[in-house]
Amino acid sequence: MIKRLEFKKIITSPIVLGLFLLFLMYNLFLIYDKTPMKEDMNLLQPIIKENGTLMDADGRSGLQSSYEKELATWNKLAQTKTGDTYEAATDFYKPEHFHSLMEAKTYTDKELQAISTLALKETYFHTIDGIESQYNQLNMIKSAEEQIRVFGLGEGVAETVRTQYTQLDTRVKELITNKEHLHLFFHGKIYATHSFLFKTLFQSIIFQAMILIVLFTAFLVNYEFEQKTSLVAYSTKRGRHLVWDKLVVALLSSLVATFTLLGTTLLVYFLVFDYSGLWNVPISTGFLIELNEIPFISWWNFTFLEYLLLSCALLMICQVIFALLTFCLSMWIRNSYIVFTIFGVIFGAGVLLPGYIPKDNLLILYTHFSPFVLVMNVKKWWMESGAFTSFKHYEVITVSAWLIALLLIAWFSISRFTRENL
């Protein structure tokens, strides 16, 4: 009953409700803004249905014969219409004759759609070779040395980085053996779906949920003090044990708010963009590589669905950490606005701190094990993510350590509160 009434305080707050709706609308706008590429992305589905996702020798041969057959059909049509033949479907789009063909309306819409699909199939087909050669040349040890040089890391730090990248090198070999990199997925260089989903959307949701959680946790914990009802509330039978209810409600509300924000955004995203047939594609596939040419090397062989679910879970745990941190601050500072500001300062300091640590001090690695740094790099969770955070269990260690530390501080703060003069 008490928890229900505490929860009511949060959901009846106009600021919390207003911000929640505003954030949700912003996320939907981000998705809406990307909808023009939806039709093109959907052209991948018939290719997958026909040839599957794995582009090993068999898959590639199937795709090649299908492509060549369709190109031959297209050339037959082209010959009857203009007398031209094309060596590749993309040649059709060469500006010297494409515009005249369009003006003359030589081809029907259906025929144009067919060449467009064929050109895309061709792009996917030709990409495979590039991916295979890129992965075969991948050398994680060399990559580590390059980063050590770029960042000017001291010997102790460099040795740790080398150890991690040696493990990654083993993982790359395993990945190649598993052919994880050869699975078809939305072309990263064209659509950059990984960045859009895990950077743009996830990052937005992380900050939105964090703002809401810090606001309502500070608001809830300090409610009685700010409304001057603390003397009445804390002299009742429930008394100071009320803060336990507040802690539970703040944590549950954080999970509910994050789940609703994340769930609604992802639901709309996956309704708009058709991922059927792609859920079980390994997240380390080379097709995800975007314009920066950096491959996504996950520490484990996760499918896209597993990666998505794990990232959702990690995002929720991060929000629990932020709720706990806000709770601890609110137990010492009886003003929700000051708590909000101090949280912002701590967040900023957490992100900036590693930049001030000498490059030869191991502390530079330890300071990266913070939820603040963690949430700034969502699209590289569970993956190779640079010299400072490429540890196999980086995410798990970071959230576990912070959860345990904050739970202990919360418990200590509550114990102190039970002995505090009000």
Partner 1 sequence: MLLVEEVTKNFGKFTALKKINIEFHNGVYGLLAPNGAGKTTLIKMLTTLLFPTSGTIRYEGHDIIKMDDKYRELIGYLPQEFGYYKNYSPTAYLLYLAALKGIDRKTAVARVKELLKIVALDHVATKKMKKFSGGMIQRVGIAQAMLNDPRILILDEPTAGLDPKERVRFRNLLTNLARDRIVILSTHIVSDVESIANEIIMIKNQEVLYKDTVINICRKIDGLVYETEVDYGDTEKFRSTYLTLSEKQETGKMHMRFLTTEDAKPEWKTVHPNLEDVFLYIYQDEVPSAGDDFDD
DSSP string, 275-320: -TTTTTSBTT-GGG--TT-----BSS--BHHHHHHHHHHHHHHHHH
Q: How far apart are CA 201 and CA 358, in angstroms?
A: 33
**CB of 421: closest distance to partner 1 in angstroms?**
5
**Residue 77 identity:** L
The least CB distance from residue 417 to partner 1, in Å, is 12
CB of 238 to partner 1, least distance (A): 5
Q: Among residues 233 and 405, whose Cβ is nearest to partner 1?
A: 233
Q: Give the shortest CB-255-to-partner 1 separation in angstroms.
A: 23
Q: Which of residues 191-230 bind partner 1 (CB under 8 A)?
A: 224, 227-230
From 65, 133, 236, 260, residue interacting with partner 1 (rule: CB under 8 A): 236
Q: Which is nearer to partner 1, 105 or 419 (CB)?
A: 419
Residue 316 binds partner 1, judged by CB under 8 A: no
Cβ 352 to partner 1, closest distance in Å? 38
Note the Cα 418 to chain centre separation in Å. Answer: 41
235 contacts partner 1 (rule: CB under 8 A): yes
Residues 33 and 22: their CA atoms lie apart, in Å, by 16
CB of 51 or CB of 222, closer to partner 1: 222
21 makes contact with partner 1 (CB under 8 A):
no
- Closer CB to partner 1, residue 178 or residue 236? 236
Of the candidates 138, 124, 115, which has an alpha carbon nearest to the alpha carbon of residue 185? 124
Residue with tokens 């963009």: 273
Query: Which 242-281 residues touch partner 1, going by CB under 8 A?
Result: 242
Compare residues 227 and 415 and give the one whose CB is closer to partner 1: 227
Count of CB atoms within 10 A of residue 45's CB? 14
**Under DSSP, is residue 383 helix (H, G, I), strand (E, B) or coil?**
strand
E strands of 86-155, at which residues? none
Instruction: Kindly tell me which residue out of 237, 355, 356, 358 binds partner 1, with binding defined by CB under 8 A.
Output: 237
233 lies in the site for partner 1, by CB under 8 A? yes
Identify whether the C-beta of residue 358 lies closer than 8 Å to the C-beta of residue 344.
no
Residue 285: exposure state from Cβ atoms within 10 A (0-12, 13-18, ≥19): buried
Q: Which residues bind partner 1 (CB under 8 A)?
A: 1-2, 5, 224, 227-239, 241-242, 419, 421-422
